[in-house]
Amino acid sequence: MRRIFSYLLFTLLLFIFIFNNKIVINSVVNSFNIFYRSILFNIYPFIVLSDMLVNYGYFNIFKNVHLRSFNLLVMSVLCPIPSNALVIGNLYRKELINKVDAISLLSFSSFPNVIYVIYFIGKVVFNSYFYGFLLYFSIFISNIIMYIINYKNLPFLNISNKTISFNLALKKSLIDNFNNMIIIFGSISLFNLLIDIIYHYTNINQLFLAILNGFLELSSAFYKLSSINASLLFKMAFSSFILGFGSLSVLMQQLSVLDIKEIDSRKIIKNKIFVGIISSLISCLIYYFINSF
């Protein structure tokens, strides 16, 4: 029954796209501009360099740290989304972890790119790098809290490859992360198109559009959030939440890179919502603390 519903939904969307070709073209162009300005040059070089740390055997230095999944925690800070899902997927295919382990590992390892948060979101939404730093701090602490909550159920991991040459590490990182960029662009385009179609047929106000955008596609949500008339506290709390939650677009990117069949995506979504709530509460506490002086 669910498969039949999916077929009908996709058929309906196909006809909507066909009869709204101008919206489709404009949406894809806008998605490319967002990808070009906020993802490609801000994130791609950073992901390549950080992913080289994995391919070059950098995380071998943590093999004597006897903390459960500590090396993945460190790696996730240095190698942000979706690199964490790629590593977790590789561990599963090597039969070093099971599906339950994969869900637990994803719960605390979904760190956004620090440059993207501080220099892009901080500047675009808040016109201040300081608030970008506060956002990243709230995400960082929320993931640490999830790590502590899940600690007893986490496995000990060996995530580093055997040390390979610099040239081979660079080549592998460039190719793997170019594929990741294609997945990111595809998911951004798809969800932005859905948002534009919804707005075209419903004409909802900008505040609800920004909220909907945040749940569906993260990157373009911050452009809309920067243009709405809302309090700084709301923007801080909502930005923290969607960075912690990650949006359905980011979830699709992670599941695509993870490539584990029949994994329980509902548990992953629940964990992401919980991380988003913790992050939002932390950012609110920081906001009140700063404004109390």
Query: Residue 202 has which token pair?
Result: 């419903």
Mean pLDDT of the chain: 80
Please compute, for residue 15, the number of CA atoms within 13 A of its CA located in the half-sphere on the CB side. 5
Task: For residue range 97-126, list pLDDT tens digits in order.
Answer: 888 888 888 888 888 888 888 888 888 788
Residue 145 confidence (pLDDT) above 90? yes
Q: Which helix (H) or strand (E) holds 103?
A: helix 99-108
How far apart CA 92 and CA 35 sit, in angstroms, is: 30
Predicted structure pTM score = 0.81
- Is residue 212 within 8 A of residue 199, CB to CB? The reply is no
Which pLDDT score is estimated for 63?
66
Q: How confident is the model at residue 241 (pLDDT cuts 50, 70, 90)?
A: very high
Q: Is 127 left (phi over 0), alpha (psi -120 to 50) or beta?
A: left
Query: Residue 70 has which token pair?
Result: 């500590």
Q: Which of 111-125, 129-143, 164-178, 238-252 has the lowest mean pLDDT?
A: 164-178
Mean of the pLDDT values across residues 270-285? 92
| Residue in 265, 271, 272 with CA at minimum distance from that of residue 244 | 272
| Residue in 164, 160, 166, 167 with CA at minimum distance from that of residue 61 | 160
Q: Which helix (H) or strand (E) holds 261?
A: none
Residue 217 confidence (pLDDT) above 90? no
Peptide bond into 82 cis (omega under 30): yes
Q: Which of 44-48, 72-76, 263-267 has the lowest mean pLDDT?
A: 44-48
Q: Which amino acid is at 90?
A: N
More confident residue, 230 or 278: 278
Q: Which three-class secondary structure state does DSSP give residue 35?
A: helix
Q: Which of 108-112, 172-176, 195-199 has the lowest mean pLDDT?
A: 172-176
Q: Which of 2-6, 107-111, 158-162 has the lowest mean pLDDT?
A: 158-162
